[in-house]
Structure formats: C-alpha cells, structure tokens
Amino acid sequence: MSESAPQSHTDDALRAVWERAERVREASEKLREIVGTAESPDGGIRITVGGNGIITELSLSPVVDGYSPEELREAILSTLQRARGEWQQRSEPILGLVKPSEEEQAQADAAKARLESFLALSVPRSPLGGNV
C-alpha cells in the first residue's frame, strides 16, 4: 500500500528535522574545540577564549607592571575583543554547516504555512473575536 501524500510530506519533514539536528550536534561538538587567541601589541597581555567568548586563559607579562589601572583595563578589553573576533572568524565555517539551504528554508516555510492554515481551520472562533 502506498503512502498518502500528507504522510509522505510528514515523513520527509521529520527526516529533514533529524538530519538538521544531527548537523547541529556535530557543529556544536566542533565549536567546543575552537579557541580564539590574541595578544596585546606590546605582548604584555595574552587572552584565549573558547565558546561563547568565555576566557579560558589570561596571561600577563611583566610589561603590564607599568600600566595604570585604566591602561590595563583598556588593554585587556581590547585584547579580549580581538580574541573573540578570532573565535568568531574560526567558527563561521562550522556555523555555515547548520545554516539551512535555500531548499530547506523553503520547505520549512511551506510547512509553517500549512501548520498555520491547519490551526486557523481547527480552532473555533468566538463571535466576539478570539479563540473559544
């Protein structure tokens, strides 16, 4: 017995969801391995960040002993920003793996429209407006 068209669409949609979920899982694992590292121009500060821009390593050399508190703060923030930028740059190819293709996006948009249409037909409306 052949599958009905709605069942086939549902199966295709579920398969696409599972495939996308697997790509997201794989990308998540790869993103955990990526780090971004930057060093201040004078080499006094070195910062490494992991996922979500969290600092995983901060090294200060004797060069920073001569910094004022404000200079130290500015140098750390500037170096941190560059480290996060490097992490972002390294992560972009991996994030591209989970971005939906045009076909996947079109399928998702069509499925959303079908669901919204179904819900609009199946939820009774009150004569005063709103759902019953």
Q: What pLDDT, in 10s, does the model give residues 48-92?
A: 999 878 999 999 999 999 999 999 999 999 999 999 999 999 998
Please say whether the beta carbons of 114 and 36 come within 8 A: no
Please say whether the beta carbons of 100 and 108 come within 8 A: yes
Question: Any idea which residue has 């500015």 for tokens?
Answer: 74
pLDDT at 36: 96
Q: What is the spatial distance between Cα 15 and Cα 1, in angstroms, rounded to a whole number?
A: 21
pLDDT at 103: 82
37 vs 8, residue with greater confidence: 37
pLDDT digits (tens, 9 = 90+) for 10-32: 777 778 778 888 888 888 888 88
Cα–Cα distances (Å) from 51 to 30, 77, 80, in that order, read 10, 17, 13
DSSP code for 42:
T
- 12-119 folds as Ybab; Chain: A; (3.30.1310)
pLDDT digits (tens, 9 = 90+) for 43-53: 999 999 998 78
Q: Is the pLDDT of residue 2 over 60?
A: no
pLDDT at 1: 46
